[in-house]
Amino acid sequence: MPLLVAGVLLWSAVHLFPAVAPGQRATLMAKMGEGPYKGAFSLLLVAAIVLMVVGYDPAAAMAYLPPDWGRHLNNLLMLVAVFLVGARHAKGRVKRLIRHPMLWGVVAWAAAHLLVRGDWSSVVMFGGLALWAFAAMLAANRRDGAWVRPEGGTAVGDLRHVAITLAVYAVIVLVHWQVFGLYPFPG
């Protein structure tokens, strides 16, 4: 569990640093250069992911018993999560409706997993990453001030985004089923 906690904390710190300390980020980037800064940033994120993967114990003690209906809501929330995470780069209109769609997608992803995984490793990882996403939204809002809605997308962009969301969701289902042995749909 200590490696998992370290991974979640490292992920959070590296991601929050630019929003919480923009002046220090700029100074560090000026000293290191943009390429080396981004390289170090990426290496720290890879290290965080490795720590989380190695530290995650699916056989950890149970913190709570997930509800039976959680699998149904999990599947819907995962579809929403994939849609929101992809919205940042989509040419649709959702970015005009939701500030920080990618971070809200992380919150939906975390909530979905907490509905079906009640072990302590899941609580630490998914709960910790949800807390990071909320902190990142608050930090970005504080740094950036009032939200200026981006220009609108198109209906075609929305349809393309939905099609890509469904394709990515299907791949996620297949990976969970074929690689992890976790069929996400109730029988």
DSSP letters for 82-113: HHHHHHTT-SSSGGGT-SSHHHHHHHHHHHHH
Q: Provide the residue range defining the domain that includes 22.
A: 1-56
The residue among 17, 33, 56 that closes a domain is 56
> To which residue do tokens 């890879």 refer?
46
> To which residue do tokens 């923009």 refer?
22
Integer angstrom CA distances of residue 44 from 6, 49, 50? 12, 9, 10
68 φψ region: left (φ > 0), alpha (ψ -120 to 50), beta (else): alpha
Residues 139 and 68 in one domain: yes
Q: What is the pLDDT along the chain (187 residues), one digit of tens a residue?
A: 899 999 999 999 999 999 898 889 989 888 989 899 999 999 999 999 999 999 999 888 999 999 988 988 999 999 999 999 999 888 888 888 899 999 999 999 999 999 999 999 999 999 999 999 999 999 999 999 999 888 878 889 899 999 999 999 999 999 988 888 877 776 6
Residues 126 and 150 in one domain: yes
Residues 2 and 87 in one domain: no
Residues 45 and 137 in one domain: no
Residues 47 and 82 in one domain: no
State residue 187's pLDDT score. 64
What 3-state class would DSSP assign to 179?
A: coil
Residues 80 and 49 in one domain: no
Residues 2 and 66 in one domain: no
pTM for this entry: 0.89
Residues 112 and 129 in one domain: yes
Residues 50 and 70 in one domain: no
Instruction: For residue 79, count other CB atoms closer than 10 A to its CB.
Output: 17
* H-helix segments, the chain: 2-20, 22-32, 34-55, 70-87, 101-116, 120-122, 128-144, 155-178
Q: What is the pLDDT of residues 24-35, one digit of tens each?
A: 998 988 898 989
Sign for the pseudo-dihedral over CA of 30, 35, 36, 39: positive
Residues 9 and 27 in one domain: yes
> To which residue do tokens 């990882």 refer?
125
> To which residue do tokens 């992911």 refer?
49
Count the domains in the chain: 2
Residues 145 and 90 in one domain: yes
Residues 74 and 156 in one domain: yes
Q: What is the pLDDT of residues 114-149, one digit of tens each?
A: 999 999 999 999 999 999 999 999 999 999 999 988
Q: At what angle do helices 101-116 and 128-144 cross, to 10 degrees?
A: 160
